[in-house]
Amino acid sequence: MTDSIMNKAATMEIPINSNGDTGTLTEDDSLEQDLQQVMVSGPNLNETSIVSGGYGGTAEGIIPTSSIKGPAVHYNAEFNKRIPVTGLGSNMHHSSSSSSMTAEETTRGVAVEKLETVKKWGLNTYKCTKQMISERFGRGSRTVDLELEAQIEVLRDTKRKYENVLRLARALTNHFYNMVQTQHALGDTFADLSQKSPELRDEFGYNAETQKLLCKNGETLLGAINFFVSSINTLVNKTMEDTLMTIKMYENARLEYDAYRSDLEELSMGPRDAVAMARIEAAQQQYQVQKDKYERLRSDVAIKLKFLEENKVKVMHKQLLLFHNAISAYFAGNQQQLEQTLKQFNVKLKPPGADKPSWLEEQ
């Protein structure tokens, strides 16, 4: 009776499917069909055999597997488990399984981390949106630094006005460039007519020289105006913009700080059981984190506003003096003073022979 049960168990544990891989079968009919298919068309296992009890009887038999390719597996019916005969195949299978499990665990860990990140972002967004709506409708309190807010508003107004100066200076540069190009063409035309009209050679010649001189001085003035435009553009679109980006971060931090502050106040007004106290403690920690972030950014904004004001005064003092001296010298016809102004402010013109003035390349 015992031999019959062991043979039956051995028969039930032979896990060979139609692909030659190991598996687990629980039906006698499926086992017999799989064994027949392996013997007929399965891959080749060199110099191996599978030991099993005879199907439906008590006699043991050996299933020839000289035409099957793959690692041999011995099945111990007593312990109802598989024992690998060839160590190499088992190690490869174990290594593959371990790698698969490691990759799966890594993927699962990344997914859990991303899920936690999305969860925190969603909770933070909800709190901030709730706080923003409360402030808009006058139901929520808002933290305000009156002195800092006034400085921020002054900066935004200054930036708008400087942007208008920049727009007008660029328009002046474009118009003046067109005038210089016209003077250059007119001078060439006068010079050509001077050669072809002997009776008016002197008159055309004088006008040709005048237009060429005006053209040369105009290009010098264009260099000064272009330097002015470039400096204002850097001040407005880089220096001021960098400070405004820090201000935007500060305003976002202020909103988050007020959102978590309001959340903590609501929890503090509720019940004081164990669960509520745990929530209050967690909210207190989050509130402290947001408070530190808010105060740090508020300090950064104050420092940047201070340095921006100093830099703005220094830059504009230099650029306004350059613009005034260059314009005055040009329209006074003082070529020497115009050139001296450019040297004073280290403004370099494009070398002669270039097709276009240097200011065009910087637009």
pLDDT digits (tens, 9 = 90+) for 219-247: 999 999 999 999 999 999 999 999 999 99
Q: For 86-119, what is each residue's pLDDT tens digit?
A: 444 445 555 566 666 787 777 877 877 787 788 7
Q: What's the confidence (pLDDT) of residue 262?
A: 86
The CATH number of residue 178's host domain is: 1.20.1270.60
Mean pLDDT of the 159-179 span? 96
User: Domain containing 339: what range?
Assistant: 147-347
Q: Which residue has the higher pLDDT, 15 or 139?
A: 139
Here the tokens at position 193 are 């007519």
What pTM was estimated for this model as a whole?
Answer: 0.62
Q: What's the confidence (pLDDT) of residue 136?
A: 79
> For the chain, what is the largest distance between any 2 Cα atoms, rounded to a whole number of angstroms?
140
- Asked if residue 116 belongs to a domain, the reply is no
Q: Which residue has the higher pLDDT, 100 or 206?
A: 206
- Asked if residue 76 belongs to a domain, the reply is no
- Asked if residue 107 belongs to a domain, the reply is no
- Asked if residue 357 belongs to a domain, the reply is no
Total of domains in the chain:
1
Q: Supply φ then ψ for residue 73, to 5 degrees.
A: -130, 125
Res. 355: pLDDT tops 70: no
- Asked if residue 167 belongs to a domain, the reply is yes
Mean pLDDT of the 351-359 span? 49
Crossing angle, helix 146-196 and helix 201-234, to 10 degrees? 160
For residue 25, how many other CB atoms are within 10 A of its CB? 19
Q: What's the confidence (pLDDT) of residue 19?
A: 43
Q: What's the confidence (pLDDT) of residue 97?
A: 62
Supply angle C-alpha 14, 15, 20, rounded to 5: 120
Res. 58: pLDDT tops 90: no
Instruction: Sort 82 into a burial class: Cβ within 10 Å, 0-12 / 13-18 / 19+.
Output: middle
- Asked if residue 241 belongs to a domain, the reply is yes
Mean pLDDT of the 42-63 span? 41
Res. 174: pLDDT tops 90: yes
- Asked if residue 212 belongs to a domain, the reply is yes
Res. 76: pLDDT tops 50: no
pLDDT confidence band for 253 (50 / 70 / 90): very high
pLDDT confidence band for 276 (50 / 70 / 90): confident
Res. 297: pLDDT tops 50: yes
What residues contact residue 183 under an 8 Å CB cut-off, 6+ apart? 211, 214, 215, 218
Q: What's the confidence (pLDDT) of residue 96?
A: 61
Here the tokens at position 290 are 């947001």
- Asked if residue 83 belongs to a domain, the reply is no
Element (H, E) at 64: strand 60-64
